[in-house]
Amino acid sequence: MLPSTAMNSSMHGNGVLSSRDAARHTAGAKRYKYLRRLFRFRQMDFEFAAWQMLYLFTSPQRVYRNFHYRKQTKDQWARDDPAFLVLLSIWLCVSTIGFGFVLDMGFFETIKLLLWVVFIDCVGVGLLISTLMWFISNKYLVKRQSRDYDVEWGYAFDVHLNAFYPLLVILHFIQLFFINHVILTDTFIGYLVGNTLWLVAVGYYIYVTFLGYSALPFLKNTVILLYPFAPLILLYGLSLALGWNFTHALCSFYKYRVK
């Protein structure tokens, strides 16, 4: 059945959704459905979520084309399957344990670091960034002729998760192989490698975020989301000139957290 056919069949003669169908499409109903599926692993499509994680590195535009398809078939931009969030959480836990091992932390210190990273760095900061971007996009980026449309908060959160995943893999996994023997050696090569990884990771975050909001046809001027590239590159050059080591600062911060 075509999406338009399914939609028309749920409408009354005047083209208005019935109360039952209208309730099903409310934000609360979508959120409840998402949270309910969070505890039903057999209903999650982990293969498709893994495919998205791969393409976030190689071709992130393909990931957002799938969001268009979801809007056409399920009338929502945000994910309705929490499989991506579950796999991201696994990545976060494993990589943080790896960080604890590389920094020679004890068992309880590693668990404490894991709780900090999951609930503060990922969930807390993620909710803050998603809410901020949701507000800014709805307040300033919606086209004048598209005021009947708005950015779903769930979609803003999905965009953050999409952008956060490459950053996580680069800084919390790939970087682990270079920390002790290269990055923390207090040499130019050390902070060149470390800061370059930071440049690539944060650059990925900015670019994937831009793609997420530029994929929405009712938004305008989304190119401004690429503007942070300018201060990022400037900061990168300045860090190399002054010998700043971002990874060394991160490791010191992690150790301070678990004291």
Q: Which of 237, 259, 226 is nearest to 103 (CA)?
A: 259
Rounded Cα–Cα distance for residues 100 and 112 (Å): 10
16-65 tens-digit pLDDT: 444 444 434 565 666 666 656 666 777 788 999 999 999 999 999 999 99
Looking at the chain, the whole-number percentage of residues with pLDDT higher than 90 is 71
What number is the average pLDDT over the span 221-250? Answer: 97
- Report how far Cα 39 is from the mean position of its chain's Cα atoms: 21
Reduced to 3 states (helix: H, G, I; strand: E, B; else coil), residue 219 is strand
Number of H helices and E strands in the chain, helices first, is 12, 0
82-116 tens-digit pLDDT: 899 999 999 999 999 999 999 999 999 999 999 99
Question: Whose structure tokens read 């960034």?
Answer: 129
| Contacts within 8 Å (CB) and 24+ apart, 144-150 | 146/218, 149/218
Q: Which of 218, 180, 171 is nearest to 198 (CA)?
A: 171
What number is the average pLDDT over the span 118-127? Answer: 92
pLDDT of residue 132: 97
- Looking from the CA of 81 toward its CB, the CA atoms found within 13 Å total 18
Q: Is 253 left (phi over 0), alpha (psi -120 to 50) or beta?
A: alpha
pLDDT of residue 111: 95
